[in-house]
Structure formats: structure tokens, C-alpha cells
């Protein structure tokens, strides 16, 4: 098993069809104990229970620094330490540039970008003291091509910000044994896109995807598992595309 004896925090992992919960399942199957952090407390508890007894689910709003600090302290108490952090929580909004209000901008930056900063700030001192840790951050193809399918320009900007922030963290904390990497998924079938995709849109999107299918939450979970495990021991500051070839650099 790739994560035997490891402990992991995954943010935004309570949504039943989401990438976070698929990752939690995969981590648990690889031998890790998982803390699911989500803004929805009941869903986080249910998701953790669905994984088995040794996992926990806690409420955490990643956009709130003290909420992150409290949740991380509880995880360290419950699991004894944190080897892996997956900054996965995110929200989107499909609007055009001229429609973005100040409140929309703040909300999208707060969860997608500031959330990565706050949860990382809460976890890194602990990882630094242990001279070891792996952090994986959720960006998006939207950051790379200036728009995905469902994210507005503010979402692209936030996810592009995640790339810069993660690379800066990789530089700063590499000497402390902490690796930081990003994933950039294309279109993945989860609740974030549920009900928004007509048959016509789907056919058009597939024309631009060489592997000729949408991604699954498990496709991304596999990459998070690689980044969390020692298979990627010499990988930091990297960005891994999980997009079926939708964007080939």
C-alpha cells in the first residue's frame, strides 16, 4: 500500500460525487488515516464514517483562518500528526467578466486561493517541525487556458494564483522536507458541473478531448495519491495535468 501508516487532511472532501471524497477513499484504501475537512459539518462526518472508524470528519471553512487553525489542531490531536495535506476545496461561478461583482470576486478568491494559504499556514509549522510533508493543491485547466467550461474569469484568476502560491511554497519549504505540487484537471464529472452540461455541450467538449471522455473524480484521486506518496519523493513545484489531452502544452 502506497500510504501505509500516513495521515492526511483533505479539504472539500464531503461532497458524495466529488474529487475530495474519491481521494479520501483512495487514500484510505492505500492505508492512510484521513481527516475530511469541509464547510458542511454533517456531510464531513458522514463522509468520514463511510470510510471506516479510523477516519474523522470536521467542519472547516478554508476561507477563515481561525477555522483552519482550530480544525488542524483537532486533527493533530485525533490522528497524532499530519503527513499529507490536500488543498482541494473550491467553488466556481459561470459568469462573464463584466458580470463579476466585488462580492463575487471576493468569494471566489477567498475559497479557491486564500483557502490554500490559510490551511497551508495552519499545517506547515507542524510539517516543518517534523521535517517532512507533502502538500497537493487544486488548480484547474481554467488557470492555464484562461477559462475552463464552467468557471468565470475570477475562477481562472484564483486557480492561476494557486499555481504561483504553490510554487512559492515549494521553494520556501523544500529545505524543510516539504513538497508542494499542483493538479490541473480538465472537465471532471462531479456536482460542481452537475446539471449544467447539455448533450450538445458535451458533444462539443468531447471533440476537444483526445481521450474522448470527461474525467472522473477517481482520475484526479490517482494523481493526488501519486503526489502524496513516496513515488513522487523527488517531485516538488510541479503541475500535473489531468485533462485527457484537452490542453497539451
Catalytic residue among 27, 79, 115, 155: 155
- In whole angstroms, the minimum distance from the beta carbon of 138 to ligand NAD comes to 4
Q: Is 155 a catalytic residue?
A: yes
42 sits near ligand NAD (criterion: CB under 6 A):
no
- Please give the radius of gyration of the chain, using alpha carbons only, rounded to the nearest integer: 17
Q: Exactly one of 3, 9, 10, 19 binds ligand NAD (CB under 6 A); which one?
A: 19
**Smallest gap from residue 184 Cβ to ligand NAD (A):** 7
Q: Give the interface segment with ligand NAD, choosing from 10-18, 23-31, 98-106, 165-173 (CB under 6 A).
A: 10-18
Say how far apart CA 155 and CA 175 lie, in whole Å. Answer: 31
Closest CA to 38 of 52, 15, 56, 59: 59
Least distance to ligand NAD from the beta carbon of 78, Å?
18
Binding status of residue 62 toward ligand NAD by CB under 6 A: yes
**Which C-beta is closer to ligand NAD: that of 30 or that of 64?**
64
Q: Which of 39, 51, 71, 180 contacts ligand NAD by CB under 6 A?
A: 39
Q: Work out the burial of residue 94: count CB atoms within 10 Å of its CB; fewer than 13 is exposed, 13-18 middle, 19 or more buried.
A: middle
Q: How far is CA 230 from the centre of its chain?
A: 19
By CB under 6 A, is residue 147 in contact with ligand NAD?
no
Please, which of residues 155-214 interact with ligand NAD by CB under 6 A? 185, 187-188, 190-193
Per DSSP, the three-state class of 49 is: helix
Stretch that binds ligand NAD, among 89-97, 168-176, 204-212, 227-235 (CB under 6 A): 89-97
Residue 159: closest CA among 119, 101, 113, 217? 113
Nearest-angstrom CA–CA distance, 30 and 234: 20
Residue closest to ligand NAD when measured from CB atoms: 90
| DSSP letter for each residue of 86-150 | EE---------GGG--HHHHHHHHIIIIIHHHHHHHHHHHHHHHHT-EEEEEE--HHHHHT--SS
Decide if residue 144 touches ligand NAD (CB under 6 A).
no
35 and 46 in contact (C-beta within 8 Å)?
Answer: no
Count of positions on this chain that bind ligand NAD (CB under 6 A): 30
Which of positions 96-115 make contact with ligand NAD (CB under 6 A)? 111, 115
SS3 for 213?
coil
Residues that bind ligand NAD in the complex, under the rule CB under 6 A: 11-12, 14-15, 18-20, 38-40, 60-63, 88-92, 111, 115, 138, 140, 185, 187-188, 190-193
Catalytically active residues are 155
Amino acid at each position: 500500500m502506497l500510504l501505509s501508516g500516513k495521515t492526511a487532511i483533505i479539504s472539500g472532501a464531503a461532497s458524495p460525487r466529488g474529487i475530495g471524497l474519491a481521494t479520501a477513499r483512495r487514500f484510505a484504501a492505500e492505508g492512510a488515516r484521513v481527516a475530511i475537512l469541509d464547510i458542511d459539518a454533517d456531510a464531513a462526518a458522514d463522509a468520514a464514517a463511510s470510510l471506516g472508524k479510523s477516519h474523522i470528519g470536521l467542519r472547516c471553512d478554508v476561507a477563515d483562518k481561525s477555522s483552519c487553525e482550530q480544525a488542524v489542531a483537532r486533527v493533530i490531536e485525533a490522528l497524532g500528526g499530519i503527513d499529507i495535506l490536500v488543498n482541494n476545496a473550491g467553488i466556481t461561478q459561470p459568469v462573464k467578466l463584466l458580470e463579476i461583482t466585488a462580492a463575487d470576486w471576493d468569494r471566489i478568491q477567498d475559497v479557491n486561493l486564500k483557502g490554500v494559504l490559510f490551511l497551508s499556514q495552519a499545517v506547515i509549522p507542524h510539517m516543518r517541525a517534523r521535517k517532512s510533508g507533502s502538500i497537493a493543491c487544486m488548480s484547474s485547466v481554467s488557470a492555464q487556458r484562461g477559462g475552463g467550461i464552467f468557471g468565470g474569469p475570477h475562477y481562472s484568476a484564483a486557480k492561476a494564483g494557486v499555481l504561483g502560491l504553490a510554487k512559492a511554497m515549494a521553494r520556501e519549504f523544500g529545505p524543510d522536507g516539504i513538497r508542494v505540487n499542483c493538479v490541473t484537471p480538465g472537465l471532471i464529472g462531479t456536482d460542481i458541473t452537475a446539471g449544467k452540461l447539455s448533450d450538445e455541450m458535451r458533444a462539443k467538449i468531447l471533440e476537444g478531448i483526445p481521450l474522448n471522455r470527461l474525467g472522473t473524480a477517481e482520475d484526479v484521486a490517482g494523481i493526488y495519491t501519486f503526489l502524496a506518496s513516496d513515488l513522487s519523493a523527488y517531485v516538488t513545484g510541479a503541475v500535473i495535468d489531468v485533462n485527457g489531452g484537452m490542453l497539451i502544452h
